[in-house]
Amino acid sequence: MRALPFLIALLAATPAMAALAPGAKAPAFTTQGALAGKAFNVSLAALLKKGPVVLYFFPAAFTPGCTAEAHEFAERTASFKQAGATVLGIAADKIEDLQRFSVEECRNKFAVAVGTPEMIRGYDVVLPQLSTRSSRTSYVIAPNGQVVYAYSDMDYRNHVTNTLKAVQGWKANRKR
């Protein structure tokens, strides 16, 4: 745990940029996920069949910013569901850690999944100083697989509000 303060300081000082711009095709993936402590296989294709997906990458489970972000996503899960969206958090952690994180910090409200190196590169969210970790980047992906919103900032505080607004805006435009 001595590395935790170093990781926190490094993450706080790291700028982040989302490379997948709105209009880009979201890379397909299948990986291990966890919801309410139970592991399962999750694929983007299966999630998109249900509606838009909020795919949010975070650097590491159980770090202060990632925990606060997970709590906020958990508190707003009903609002995302009301807008028809599924939330999936992605981190380059072991599935065992994410199983525990899904219970303790996601409060059994939404799934988290293992971000493989291929996924992190494919979504272009590699954290420069820690190439095995992702930046804090949130995407809204429409059911057709197109990125409709991207937001990248290592400060967790605007991710949930911004992605919820993006999902609600996407839904409102679909009704017109």
Catalytic residues: 66
Exposure on the CB side of residue 33, measured as CA atoms within 13 A: 21
Q: Which helix (H) or strand (E) holds 126?
A: strand 126-127
Instruction: Dihedral sign for Cα 34, 92, 17, 154, please.
Output: positive
**Helix, strand, or coil here: 96?**
helix
Provide φ and ψ at 130, rounded to 5°: -135, 80
Instruction: Give residue 37's region: left, alpha or beta (phi > 0; psi -120 to 50).
Output: left
Burial 70-99 (b: 16+ CB within 10 A, else e): bbbbbebbeebeebebbbbbbbbbebebbb
